[in-house]
Amino acid sequence: MAEVEEKIFEGLGVSPGIAEGEVVVHWQDEEEVPLRDIAEEEIPGEIARFEAALIATRQELLEIQQRIVAAIGAGDASIFDAHLLVVEDRTLIDEALRGLERDKHNIEFVFHQVAEKYCRTLAAIDDPYLQERVVDIEDVTRRVLRHLLGKGHGDLHKLDRPHIIIAANLTPSDTALINRDLVRGFVTEQGSRTSHSAIMARSLGIPAIVALPGICSKLTTGDQVLLDGYSGKLILEPKEQTRFEYGQIEKHKVEVENQLEAIRETPSTTRDGRHLVLSANIELPSEIDAVASSGAEGIGLFRTEFLFLNKQTSPGEDEQYEAYKTAAEKCAPHGVIIRTLDIGGDKLMHLPHAVVEPNPFLGRRAIRLCLDEPALFKTQLRAILRASAHGNIRLMYPMVTQIDEVKWANAFLEECKKELSAEGKAFKHDIEAGCMIEVPSAALIADQLAKEVKFFSVGTNDLVQYTMAVDRGNDRVAHLYQPTHPSVLRLIAMACQAAHKHGIWIGVCGEMASEIHLTPLLLGFGMDELSVVTAAVPRVKKAVQSLDFKECSELACHAAGMTDPGEIDKMCREHAKKNYRDLFDC
Ligand code: PEP
Ligand code: MG
């Protein structure tokens, strides 16, 4: 029998690995809601369908609620309460029923129209609370419509067999809910290498491809594909020969992984004896065990905002304290750097009085939001301080753009220390506070910031975005997102020199640190630490061990005189390949 012709789609591989299996197309975007005239006698049937869809949606929401509580360990019973209220909202339901009797159209059409009108009315009222409810109503409406249209739910976590997710986009909150045991990989139409979902895929070790426009309509749930997270190829109905070739790549990968396993407990020191702290980035507390077994020297970036996503209310002081304490205890004797809340940009949480911002990446994000919401900030600072009594904890502030932000944040920290002392609660009095260098303005005043903090951590994901004016998640301008652009390298070098001049250490926790072809450059700049995606720790360690620091310094010097980002990248890659070719083949 002739083999079915395989079809190859090419996107951007953002999380390495090969996955094979059945796809599930995540129904996400608005679809046409069909319009159909109905006869008088069909009305009771339409009402029954409507009631069944509302009941099914209610059940679905309750299950999500339980699932989130279990996944995030929040015990927060109010999650999705607002959504549940929408399913029971008599105004909405009665208006839909009246519309059904009056217009005699199918119920999905009537309900869609009523819900849209309801949302428009609420959105027009100048009340942040009501405006926020619009998002809940839109979400619930989509769910009810899916049931009425027989589309089933679009929830990723309810699937009970291994699969590869195909979606238009995945938000960081969607990705946080992915069931790692069943999701073999994911492919999205949008996204980029440094979008938070891509970062999470790498953290979770799930192969992923982004920037594949139109893929949702080209595949159907149940299609068999092979996903190559290295090259970004998605192969529909792969041929036997293709599957064999990928099997060979997997085999080689296992061999390299075995070699890397052998160096797990060895130090990340260059051939000529320069030691660099190699730590790991985490998003969820559930990743902490993987850090300990990766051979990392602790956690260099704990993205705490993931404790806050998918929740109706923020986690309290005790809940956060437990999470930070666990991290510190599990990483001992190594340290944990806890980054204070970096909400905003593409990571949005439920906040009372939140408003939709036209430019969230340039808006009330991270330290700006925390300084504006002292109760939220102080709760976190108190939790971090209390956890510092149980291990080696430092904290750092994200998205700093001016010195006053650090001064104010430090003042809040001192205030929290005083409160805890008065309450007789233990904490580390000389806890170190650092700041991220991820906005050009921070790099440019790094010499001034260095006097206010104990360390710097360069967030290259944002530094590139803000320097190049390229939205890090927008695939349409992804070609302009150039980590080796001379402007970015100058800012990194500037921060590094300022840190060392003022006697503080500096690391990189952005994705550049996880790219093994850039290890020579970052080492050459004189970085003291690299904090990388947990899954990349063994590779970066091998890279560091294979390099000569003096040669890397010369390379960095040479790069500083170059003008073409592509040429700089190529030079770094060649240097890396000369020293650890094996790591590039899988
Ligand atoms: C960065 O910007 O490089 C960083 C580490 O922070 P995040 O990716 O969470 O914005
Ligand atoms: Mg950042």
What are the tens digits of pLDDT across the range 508-565? Answer: 999 999 999 999 999 999 999 999 999 999 999 999 999 999 999 999 999 999 999 9
pTM over 0.85: no
CA 497 to chain CA mean position, Å: 30
Ligand 1: residue of 194, 304, 400 to mutate (most ligand atoms within 8 A of CB) is 194
Going from the Cα of 141 to the center of ligand 2, the distance in angstroms, rounded, reads 33
Catalytic residues: 196, 509
Give residue 90's pLDDT: 86
Going from the Cα of 461 to the center of ligand 1, the distance in angstroms, rounded, reads 5
Sign of torsion, CA 496 502 507 510?
negative
Exposure b/e, 508-527, CB count within 10 A at least 16 = b: bbbbbbbbbbbbbbbbbbbb
∠273-504-441 over CA atoms, to 5°?
A: 120
Confidence class for position 158, pLDDT limits 50, 70, 90 = low
- pLDDT above 60 for 406: yes
Give residue 254's pLDDT: 85
Give residue 217's pLDDT: 79
Is there a contact between 92 and 114 (Cβ–Cβ < 8 Å)? Answer: yes
In this prediction, residues 409-432 reach a mean pLDDT of: 98
Of residues 5, 311, 29, 349, the one with CA closest to residue 188: 29
Nearest Cα residue to atom 9 of ligand 1? 303
Q: What is the pLDDT of residues 172-198, one digit of tens each?
A: 767 777 788 889 999 998 888 888 778
In this prediction, residues 130-158 reach a mean pLDDT of: 71
Q: What is the pLDDT of residues 452-480, one digit of tens each?
A: 999 999 999 999 999 999 999 888 898 89
Instruction: Compute the distance between CA of residue 435 and CA of residue 429 in angstroms, rounded to an integer.
Output: 18
Ligand 1 atom at minimum distance from 465 CA: 2
Regarding the beta carbon of 510 and ligand 1, being less than 6 Å apart is answered yes
Q: In what order do the strands lie in the sheet with 163-167?
A: 7-10, 233-236, 224-228, 18-25, 163-167, 183-188, 208-210, 12-15
Regarding the beta carbon of 229 and ligand 1, being less than 6 Å apart is answered no
Burial of 317 (0-12, 13-18, 19+ CB in 10 A): middle
Regarding the beta carbon of 99 and ligand 1, being less than 6 Å apart is answered no
Ligand 1 atom at minimum distance from 509 CA: 5
Burial of 388 (0-12, 13-18, 19+ CB in 10 A): buried
Instruction: Compute the distance between CA of residue 66 and CA of residue 64 in angstroms, rounded to an integer.
Output: 5
Nearest Cα residue to atom 1 of ligand 1? 459
Regarding the beta carbon of 509 and ligand 1, being less than 6 Å apart is answered yes
Main-chain phi, psi angles of 507, to 5 degrees: -130, 180
Regarding the beta carbon of 438 and ligand 1, being less than 6 Å apart is answered yes
Superfamily of domain 7-29+155-238: Phosphohistidine domain (3.50.30.10)
Going from the Cα of 445 to the center of ligand 1, the distance in angstroms, rounded, reads 19
Confidence class for position 80, pLDDT limits 50, 70, 90 = low
Regarding the beta carbon of 459 and ligand 1, being less than 6 Å apart is answered yes
CA 258 to chain CA mean position, Å: 28
Regarding the beta carbon of 344 and ligand 1, being less than 6 Å apart is answered no
In this prediction, residues 119-123 reach a mean pLDDT of: 80
Of residues 341, 330, 424, the one with CA closest to residue 378: 341
Give residue 250's pLDDT: 85
Residue 7 CB neighbours (<10 A): 14
Instruction: Compute the distance between CA of residue 164 and CA of residue 400 in angstroms, rounded to an integer.
Output: 38
Is there a contact between 169 and 192 (Cβ–Cβ < 8 Å)? Answer: no
Give residue 555's pLDDT: 98
- pLDDT above 90 for 149: no
Q: What is the pLDDT of residues 260-291, one digit of tens each?
A: 999 999 999 999 999 999 999 999 888 899 99
Q: What is the pLDDT of residues 218-265, one digit of tens each?
A: 888 889 999 999 999 999 999 999 999 999 988 888 888 889 999 999
Going from the Cα of 463 to the center of ligand 2, the distance in angstroms, rounded, reads 8
Confidence class for position 151, pLDDT limits 50, 70, 90 = low
Going from the Cα of 446 to the center of ligand 1, the distance in angstroms, rounded, reads 18
Give the dihedral of Cα atoms 85, 91, 95, 97; nearest 10 deg. 60
Main-chain phi, psi angles of 399, to 5 degrees: 55, 40
Going from the Cα of 460 to the center of ligand 1, the distance in angstroms, rounded, reads 7
Q: Where, residue-wise, is CATH 3.50.30.10 in the chain? A: 7-29+155-238
Of residues 37, 10, 13, the one with CA closest to residue 105: 37
Give residue 76's pLDDT: 47
Going from the Cα of 131 to the center of ligand 1, the distance in angstroms, rounded, reads 29
Strands 529-533 and 433-437: unpaired
Highest mean pLDDT among 112-121, 186-195, 237-246, 488-497: 488-497
In this prediction, residues 357-374 reach a mean pLDDT of: 92
Going from the Cα of 459 to the center of ligand 1, the distance in angstroms, rounded, reads 5
Give residue 62's pLDDT: 79
Nearest Cα residue to atom 6 of ligand 1? 459
- pLDDT above 80 for 112: yes
Ligand 1: residue of 202, 203, 303 to mutate (most ligand atoms within 8 A of CB) is 303
Regarding the beta carbon of 298 and ligand 1, being less than 6 Å apart is answered no
Place of tokens 């800012």: 491
For 272-298+452-586, CATH number?
3.20.20.60
Nearest Cα residue to atom 4 of ligand 1? 459
Q: What is the pLDDT of residues 7-51, one digit of tens each?
A: 999 999 999 899 999 998 875 555 567 788 999 999 999 998 999
Query: What contacts 24+ positions apart, CB below 8 Å, involve 357-362?
Result: 361/465, 361/471, 361/472
Nearest Cα residue to atom 8 of ligand 1? 461
Of residues 534, 423, 441, 457, the one with CA closest to residue 491: 441
Which tokens go with 73? 């360990």
Confidence class for position 214, pLDDT limits 50, 70, 90 = confident
Give residue 75's pLDDT: 47
- Angle at which helix 565-580 crosses helix 537-546, to 10 degrees, equals 80
Q: Does domain 40-149 have CATH number 1.10.274.10?
A: yes
Q: Where, residue-wise, is CATH 1.10.274.10 in the chain? A: 40-149
Regarding the beta carbon of 342 and ligand 1, being less than 6 Å apart is answered yes
Regarding the beta carbon of 460 and ligand 1, being less than 6 Å apart is answered yes
Identify the weakest region by mean pLDDT among 142-156, 302-316, 533-547. Answer: 142-156
Mean pLDDT of the chain: 89
Ligand 1: residue of 399, 436, 463, 533 to mutate (most ligand atoms within 8 A of CB) is 436
- pLDDT above 60 for 152: no
Residue 44 CB neighbours (<10 A): 9
Q: What is the pLDDT of residues 379-403, one digit of tens each?
A: 999 999 999 999 999 999 999 999 9
Give residue 125's pLDDT: 78
Q: Where, residue-wise, is CATH 3.20.20.60 in the chain? A: 272-298+452-586
3-state SS string for 284-329: CHHHHHHHHHHCCCCEEEEEHHHHCCCCCCCCCHHHHHHHHHHHHH
